[in-house]
C-alpha cells in the first residue's frame, strides 16, 4: 500500500498545472470561509466588550434588554432586593450611557460612559497611567486606551474636556480586554458622577452586578430575580444573548452565512471540476494499474490520498493566507474586528473534508467503472 500511495503522490504533483489549480480552488475557499466567519466572530466578541471588560459574574437587567448597549433603567428597590437574596455576596449598580464630549481641539466626539459603584469600583479597568484612587477626584475620568483612543485626541493625565457642560479631567489611562464594536471611545467614572453629569430618566441603574457566594447559589439567585420581574444572567449567558441578537435579529448573521455558503460552493465547484478533469486525463494510468493487478480498494486509496493531500495542503495555505491578511489589516486598521477562533478553524476544516469527499466520490466512480480492455483498445 505504501508503494501505491507514493505512486499516487507522484501522479498528483507530476502535473503541476492541475495540482496548482486544485490548490488554488481549495485555498481560495478556505480563505473566504475563514475570513467571513472570523469577521463574524470578531463582531460578536466586540459587541460583548462591556460584559467582557467588566467581568461581573451575574448581570441583572430588564427582560427586554437584547444587547449591553440597549439599557433599560432599573428601580432602586431591585438593587435592595438583590442584596437581600440569600447566596449573594454583594450587589452593586452599574451605569452605562452615551454622551457627547467637547474636546480641547474644538471637535465633538461621542463616547460611552460607564459609572462604577463608588464603594467597590467593581469592573474597574487595568490602569497603565495614573492611580485608581484619583477617579474620586473632582471631575475625574479614566480614558480607555483601545483602538478608538485616537478619536479622543490621545489625551494625557491632567487633560481636560467638556461633557454636557461639565468639566472633565483625565485622571487615568487604562487597558481593557476587548475594544468596543461601534467605534466609540469609552470613559470610566464613578456611578454618582455619571448620573450627575449625564441626563438620565427616572431610573438610573442600567445593570445590577452580583457576585454569588458559591456557584451553587446562581440558580437560586436567578429564580429570586425572576420573581421580581427581571432577568439575572451569568456572564456567559449574557454574551450568548448578545450573540443571538446579532445572529437572528439582525441581517448580519444571514449575510455572513450566505457569503460562507457561496465560498463553499465556489471552492467545491473549482476543486471538483479540476479533480474530475485530473482523473479523466489519468484514466489510462489507472486502467494500466488495474490491468497489472491493482485491486479496487488500492485504486480507491490512491484517489482518497490525492484528494486528502490536496485538501489538507489547501487548508493550510488558506489558513496561513487568512492569518497574514488579518494581521496586516490590524496593523493598518486598529478597528478591524476579525479574530480566528478554534470554531472558525474547525468549521473550515469540516467544509474542506466535505469538498475532498465529494471530489473523491466523483473520481472513485469514474475509476471503478473503467476496464483495462477499454484502455488498451483505445
CB 208 within 8 A of CB 91: yes
Question: Cβ–Cβ contacts within 10 Å for residue 131, how many?
Answer: 11
CB 125 within 8 A of CB 112: no
Question: Cβ–Cβ contacts within 10 Å for residue 70, how many?
Answer: 13
**Cα distances (Å, whole numbers) of residue 139 to 135, 188, 285, 334:** 8, 11, 82, 29
Residue 115 three-state SS: strand
CB 350 within 8 A of CB 60: no
For the chain, the residue count is 378
For the chain, the structural domain boundaries read 2-46+251-377, 75-229
- CA pair distance 363, 349, nearest whole angstrom: 21
pLDDT in tens, the chain (378 residues): 677 778 778 877 777 877 887 888 888 888 888 888 888 888 888 888 899 999 899 999 999 998 888 889 999 999 999 999 999 999 999 999 989 999 998 899 999 999 999 999 999 999 999 999 999 988 999 999 988 888 888 889 999 999 988 999 999 999 998 888 777 899 999 999 999 999 878 889 999 999 999 999 999 999 999 999 999 999 999 999 998 888 888 877 788 878 878 877 877 777 777 777 777 777 777 777 777 777 778 878 888 888 888 888 888 999 999 999 998 888 887 778 888 889 889 988 888 888 788 877 777 777 777 666 655 555
CB 272 within 8 A of CB 263: no
Residue 250 three-state SS: coil
Q: What is the dihedral of CA 298, 304, 309, 314, to 10 degrees?
A: 160
Helices (H), the chain: 2-14, 16-47, 49-54, 76-83, 191-197, 218-227, 235-248, 252-281, 283-291, 296-332, 342-369, 372-377
Which pTM does this prediction carry? 0.80
305, three cell numbers: 490520498
Region at 103 (left for phi over 0; alpha for psi -120 to 50; beta for the rest):
beta
Could you identify the residue written with the cell 486598529?
Answer: 334
CB 341 within 8 A of CB 38: yes
The dihedrals phi and psi of 241, each to the nearest 5 degrees, come to -65, -40
Long-range contacts made by residues 81-87, C-beta under 8 angstroms, separation at least 24? 81/224, 81/228, 82/208, 82/210, 82/225, 85/220, 85/221, 85/224, 85/225, 86/217, 86/220, 87/212, 87/213, 87/214, 87/216, 87/217, 87/218, 87/220, 87/221
Could you identify the residue written with the cell 438593587?
Answer: 79
Question: According to the model, what pLDDT value does residue 376 have?
Answer: 57
Angle, CA of 130, 136 and 141, to the nearest 5°? 60
Amino acid at each position: 500500500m505504501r508503494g501505491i500511495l507514493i505512486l499516487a503522490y507522484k501522479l498528483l504533483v507530476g502535473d503541476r498545472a492541475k495540482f496548482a489549480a486544485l490548490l488554488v480552488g481549495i485555498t481560495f475557499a478556505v480563505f473566504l470561509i475563514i475570513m467571513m466567519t472570523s469577521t463574524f466572530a470578531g463582531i460578536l466578541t466586540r459587541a460583548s466588550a462591556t460584559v467582557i471588560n467588566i467581568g461581573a459574574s451575574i448581570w441583572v437587567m430588564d427582560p427586554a434588554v437584547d444587547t449591553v448597549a440597549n439599557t433599560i433603567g432599573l428601580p432602586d428597590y431591585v438593587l435592595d432586593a438583590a442584596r437581600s437574596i440569600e447566596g449573594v455576596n454583594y450587589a452593586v449598580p452599574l451605569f452605562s450611557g452615551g454622551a457627547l464630549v467637547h474636546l480641547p481641539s474644538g471637535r465633538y466626539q461621542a463616547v460611552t460612559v460607564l459609572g462604577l459603584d463608588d464603594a467597590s469600583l467593581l469592573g474597574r479597568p487595568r490602569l497603565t497611567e495614573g492611580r485608581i484612587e484619583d477617579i474620586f477626584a473632582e471631575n475625574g475620568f479614566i480614558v480607555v486606551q483601545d483602538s478608538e483612543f485616537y478619536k479622543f485626541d490621545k489625551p494625557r493625565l491632567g487633560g481636560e474636556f467638556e461633557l454636557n457642560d461639565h468639566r472633565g479631567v483625565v485622571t487615568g489611562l487604562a487597558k481593557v480586554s476587548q475594544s468596543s464594536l461601534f467605534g466609540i471611545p469609552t470613559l470610566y467614572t464613578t456611578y454618582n458622577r455619571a448620573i450627575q453629569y449625564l441626563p438620565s430618566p427616572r431610573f438610573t441603574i442600567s445593570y445590577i452586578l452580583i457576585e454569588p457566594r458559591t456557584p451553587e447559589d446562581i440558580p437560586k439567585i436567578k429564580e429570586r430575580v425572576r420573581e421580581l420581574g427581571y432577568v439575572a444572567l451569568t456572564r456567559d449567558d449574557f454574551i450568548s444573548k448578545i450573540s443571538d441578537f446579532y445572529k437572528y435579529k439582525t441581517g448580519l448573521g444571514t449575510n455572513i452565512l450566505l457569503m460562507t455558503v457561496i465560498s463553499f460552493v465556489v471552492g467545491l465547484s473549482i476543486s471538483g471540476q479540476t479533480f474530475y478533469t485530473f482523473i479523466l486525463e489519468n484514466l489510462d494510468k489507472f486502467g494500466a494499474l488495474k490491468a497489472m493487478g491493482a485491486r479496487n480498494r488500492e485504486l480507491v486509496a490512491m484517489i482518497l490520498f490525492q484528494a486528502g493531500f490536496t485538501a489538507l495542503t489547501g487548508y493550510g495555505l488558506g489558513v496561513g493566507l487568512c492569518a497574514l491578511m488579518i494581521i496586516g489589516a490590524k496593523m493598518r486598521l486598529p478597528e478591524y474586528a476579525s479574530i480566528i477562533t478554534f470554531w472558525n478553524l474547525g468549521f473550515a476544516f469540516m467544509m474542506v473534508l466535505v469538498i475532498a469527499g465529494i471530489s473523491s466520490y466523483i473520481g472513485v466512480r469514474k475509476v471503478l467503472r473503467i476496464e483495462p480492455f477499454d484502455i488498451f483498445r483505445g
